[in-house]
Structure 1
Amino acid sequence: MGNYFWHDQPNSRQSDYIEMLKMIGSLSKLFSDSSDPYLYYRAHENLFCQVFNAKNLARGDVSFDAIADKMGIGLKTFLHGNGRTFQKVAEFNSDSDLIRALQPKLEDVVYKVAELRNRRIRLTEDITNINQNIYHVVTREKGKMNITETAMDYIDISSIRLAKKQSKNTIKFKDKYNEYSFSLSKNTLLKRFDTTKSEIITQFEVEILDDPFNFLKSHHVLSQTAIQSNLEDDDFIILPLYSPSTKNVEQKSGLNQWNAGGRARNINEVYIPIPAWIHRTFNEFFVYSRLYQGQSAKDSPSFNIELPNGEIMLSKVAQSGGKALMSNPNKVLGKWILRDILKLKEGTLVTMDMLDEIGIDSVKLTKKSDDYYYLDFLESGSYEEFEENHKE
């Protein structure tokens, strides 16, 4: 049984967490007639972060859902079953062409998936500056919930072994730590989680209300529906890390702004492009969009951006037409992206191939107030989808 996060928490927080899980589980008949308690994964993420004062990373496409006590945590909730079920731990939609090109050589596919999985965990560690990672799991069975924890391991490529029996659309394999299953049709990696009795940290009963609607009406309490919508209703935009017009990272602008001419520039000077339509469509998102749209951004106010590693970066909308999101000083953003995340040597140009390789080409900016935002990285293709759905 893993001893990772739970046993280091105060009894009061453990109790609060369990009581809130019981409360949410009691409302299960709002959503299902099953005797197994229902727990929406977004509600689980929000609850965990609130009770344990954790940083919520669920807005971004990274391997952790939360950070607490200098530990990266993947939050999982699923039906208990036999205690040894496969659950999704990663999707590789943006790498589907690369994976498809390796078929039908199953070993080549598995090695590539393992490489991509390890790279994503490593990238998340670089983004968050965290290198101790676990899964915190809540399983649900008839009238009960169980809590288990296990390490979020890298796949040990040197010990990979394919199962003797394979099905048409699934590749089963294992390393010295875990068993895995990769779906060729869905481009998803699943890991077998051991949540059997010997691995359960704590178990508690959940009483499911027969009439949760009447309970909510009589007690005037917040329903789980409101909890579910918490993250979906965020005020956010998605920005590309490349030029949308050329579909490339330009050599003298954006993440390569340090390479532009005209004046002496810091080797870490970069900016994130803000397409003009963002200011028009989301004209309340930035103060610049509301008060200075179409003008020079020199008078637009600065604001704080909280990064996934918890650091606060003073930033502003900059340049003609407000086309750039920059840090103040402008070298801070570049040092973080170019050196800490991409691990590039000074003077190395960022290319689209580099972004494709790490599977991230966009950022999500979530607004808390006019002077405070959150930044998270998103998987390749996120900006294009956002533009298609919102550009008028």
Structure 2
Amino acid sequence: MWFELNKTKKEKYKDLITNFASLSEAFSQKAEGDVDTKIDESVAPIVNSKFQETAFQRSFGAIGEDIANTSYDVSLKIDENHKYLVGIKSFGIHSGEQKIAQFKASSVSEGWSIILAKAKSNAERLSDKKLADKENEPLYKEVALKIAKLRNERIASSKELIKGFDTSDEVYIKSIYHVLMPSKKGEIAEIHVGETDYLPIDINAIKILGSTTLRNPVNFKFTDGQNVYKYADADSQLFMNFQNREIIVDTWSVNYVEDAFSFFENLHKQTLEIPNEKKIGETVSWMIANENGEVEENSGYNGFDGASKLPKTDNYRKKRISSFKKKYENELSRSDMGFIISKLQTILLKEYPAKDDKREMKRIRDKLRDRVTSLKNEEIKQAVFAMVYRPVSEMYIPIPDSRKFHNSHPDFFGKSIGTFKSNSSKLALNKNERIFDLEFLPSENRIVAYINQDNGKSIQSIGQQDILGEWILRGVFQLKEYEPLTGQRLDELGINAIRLIKYDDNDKKIGLEFIWIDVENPPEDAIGWVSRKKKS
């Protein structure tokens, strides 16, 4: 990636980073007796990670990413067919392994610590690292495989976000770590630019290297032939050895300002010219799951999981079942056909008025799904599923507390789109007057969308529902067909919320990005149940 970037933009980035680092004296403390020591011998260049990320965005026009459980910080489009997801890191050139991911929720739900507790017990019993590592290898392998699966799903999900849905197979998406590695105190003041591939873990090549120490057998290392990883059980963190010296692609000299404190004292006297940028007018964010950590059943993201939409009039459902039986009676055994017809009749001909009744219907439907899938006949599977499920990629984006939001922001999506008929839950404007462009970040794909349903609770696409659902459900959330979105899946991927962005210069385009919200410290623009946790 580094060698594909515009030379002028790279110089701007270099200037931002090295100019900041030139003030390191103001942020560093010297040891006693170092008063007469030269700055370039006593101070290490400082790289502030937040400034680094912002400088990268500003220099190269990258888009910031707000995903919790990956190290992707920005996305960068070189051209229409070349895009990068970039993990931005800074650490000393002499540093060891670096944290690259965390799996707190998954480690608890899947019992990783329980597995590693067995490894600890074995190590204490054997009192020999070599023997303990040999005995614990299957336990470490079990956890390593779980780590690899989640790590790879997160990478795949993030790539889908930047790739988008309106694209061809010719779009090249690559993941990269971009690293700044300053020299240490006493060395020549330099910042080394590093770059290495941000790779999924090769599950088939995982080899366990053993525990980090005999005294700490719940921490272990493994490799996939591409990288060496370390897992630390205490905080469910994954580390990687970056091979610091081997990934250097550029080196910058740092010249310290002679009197950094004088610079800060006189900074207010400088006249700064700041270029105009696209201004954000309003933003709003909300959680995808409810307060109990559950994603809404039957609608929203799980629209396919609702009850069948087949008409009930004129015995249509009974006729549809009979038609199926007649069409496939020579392709199915008597046992399989009897099972399928029985379950179809139960699902389609009975009434399920209460929530518990609907859950019972779903349990029956799951049994039917498993039996039909086991037949390995795609035509029969599609025929059955078309009767008992809604379209597999049917979905809309629900807005929490929608009536309250529209009443306080009637023009958020466009002039008067969020207004209602008098004493009604119905929106005041006609469908074609509730239309706006929805732009997905960071891919910049756009669809024509509109606000719909009672109280304006849904954002739906016009004419592209299947495309939108296929991309979000199968791509972003990495779900199999007919697999519901759950709170657990959101935790696994590190995506639990949505943010909408309204720009000042365009009232007919709304940006949308998938983000992570810290429930205990939600952002100021949060609405819905999580907004009650905002700190006063």
TM-score (norm 2): 0.60
Q: Contact (CA 8 Å) 1:241, 1:254: kept in 2 or not? A: no
Q: Contact (CA 8 Å) 1:241, 1:272: kept in 2 or not? A: no
SS in 2 for 1:51: helix
**CA 109–344 in structure 1, closer or farther in 2 if over 3 Å, else same:** closer
**CA 37–268 in structure 1, closer or farther in 2 if over 3 Å, else same:** same
Structure 1 or 2: larger helix share? Answer: 2
CA distance in 2, matches of 1:363, 1:346: 22
**CA 245–38 in structure 1, closer or farther in 2 if over 3 Å, else same:** closer
Stretch deviating more after TM superposition (207-216 or 114-123): 207-216
- List per-residue Cα deviations over 1:205-252 (Å, max 9, x = no partner): 2233322312422324499xxxxxx9xx9954333334x266433442
The alpha-carbon deviation at position 352 of structure 1 amounts to: 4.5
Residue 122 of structure 1: which of 156, 164, 168 is its match?
156
Q: Which amino acid aligns with 1:91?
A: Q
Q: Contact (CA 8 Å) 2:157, 2:475: kept in 1 or not? A: no
Gaps of 5+ in 2: 31-42, 120-138, 164-171, 312-389, 523-529
- Give the equivalent residue in structure 1 for 2:22: 26
Residue 48 of structure 1: which of 27, 48, 56 is its match?
56
The alpha-carbon deviation at position 191 of structure 1 amounts to: 1.0
**CA 389–206 in structure 1, closer or farther in 2 if over 3 Å, else same:** farther
Gaps of 5+ in 1: 224-229
- Give the equivalent residue in structure 1 for 2:2: 6
Residue 511 of structure 2: which of 362, 374, 389 is its match?
374
Q: Contact (CA 8 Å) 2:294, 2:486: kept in 1 or not? A: yes
- List per-residue Cα deviations over 1:130-162 (Å, max 9, x = no partner): 642211111122532110111112223333223
Stretch deviating more after TM superposition (143-152 or 350-359): 350-359
Q: Contact (CA 8 Å) 2:161, 2:476: kept in 1 or not? A: yes
Q: Contact (CA 8 Å) 1:64, 1:73: kept in 2 or not? A: yes
Q: Contact (CA 8 Å) 1:280, 1:289: kept in 2 or not? A: no
Q: Contact (CA 8 Å) 1:163, 1:173: kept in 2 or not? A: yes
Residue 86 of structure 2: which of 58, 73, 79 is its match?
73
CA distance in 2, matches of 1:218, 1:251: 59
**CA 348–115 in structure 1, closer or farther in 2 if over 3 Å, else same:** closer
**CA 118–282 in structure 1, closer or farther in 2 if over 3 Å, else same:** farther
- Give the equivalent residue in structure 1 for 2:270: 219
- Give the equivalent residue in structure 2 for 1:174: 223
Q: Give the fraction of aligned pairs with identical amino acids, expressed as a percent.
A: 25
Matched, 1:208 2:264: no
Superposed counterparts of 1:139-218, under 5 Å: 139-142=181-184, 143-157=189-203, 158-166=205-213, 167-168=215-216, 170-196=219-245, 198-209=246-257, 210-211=260-261, 212-218=263-269
The alpha-carbon deviation at position 364 of structure 1 amounts to: 3.0
Stretch deviating more after TM superposition (142-151 or 37-46): 37-46
**CA 301–281 in structure 1, closer or farther in 2 if over 3 Å, else same:** closer
**CA 32–297 in structure 1, closer or farther in 2 if over 3 Å, else same:** farther
SS in 2 for 1:287: coil
CA distance in 1, matches of 2:23, 2:281: 24
- Give the equivalent residue in structure 1 for 2:368: none
- Give the equivalent residue in structure 2 for 1:363: 498
- List per-residue Cα deviations over 1:164-221 (Å, max 9, x = no partner): 542536333333122222221222211112222x542221122333223124223244
**CA 252–159 in structure 1, closer or farther in 2 if over 3 Å, else same:** closer
The alpha-carbon deviation at position 306 of structure 1 amounts to: 2.6
- List per-residue Cα deviations over 1:244-302 (Å, max 9, x = no partner): 26643344211123446679986533122221179459944962699546753463452
Residue 337 of structure 1: which of 467, 472, 480 is its match?
472
SS in 2 for 1:193: coil
CA distance in 1, matches of 2:220, 2:271: 50
**CA 361–192 in structure 1, closer or farther in 2 if over 3 Å, else same:** same
SS in 2 for 1:126: helix
CA distance in 2, matches of 1:289, 1:260: 34
- List per-residue Cα deviations over 1:78-136 (Å, max 9, x = no partner): 222x2x52111112122231233433245033332222212211222233226422111
Q: Contact (CA 8 Å) 2:69, 2:102: kept in 1 or not? A: no
Stretch deviating more after TM superposition (8-17 or 337-346): 337-346
Q: Which amino acid aligns with 1:205?
A: S
CA distance in 1, matches of 2:408, 2:414: 5
SS in 2 for 1:103: helix
**CA 353–306 in structure 1, closer or farther in 2 if over 3 Å, else same:** closer
- Give the equivalent residue in structure 2 for 1:103: 116
Q: Contact (CA 8 Å) 1:37, 1:145: kept in 2 or not? A: yes
CA distance in 2, matches of 1:128, 1:371: 22
SS in 2 for 1:37: coil
The alpha-carbon deviation at position 8 of structure 1 amounts to: 2.0
CA distance in 2, matches of 1:314, 1:32: 53
- Give the equivalent residue in structure 1 for 2:378: none
**CA 150–349 in structure 1, closer or farther in 2 if over 3 Å, else same:** closer
**CA 93–115 in structure 1, closer or farther in 2 if over 3 Å, else same:** same
**CA 263–365 in structure 1, closer or farther in 2 if over 3 Å, else same:** farther
CA distance in 2, matches of 1:116, 1:239: 24
Structure 1 or 2: larger strand share? Answer: 1
The alpha-carbon deviation at position 12 of structure 1 amounts to: 2.0
Aligned length: 375
Stretch deviating more after TM superposition (317-326 or 162-171): 162-171
CA distance in 2, matches of 1:47, 1:343: 32
Aligned-pair RMSD on alpha carbons? 3.7
Stretch deviating more after TM superposition (294-303 or 257-266): 257-266
- Give the equivalent residue in structure 1 for 2:12: 16
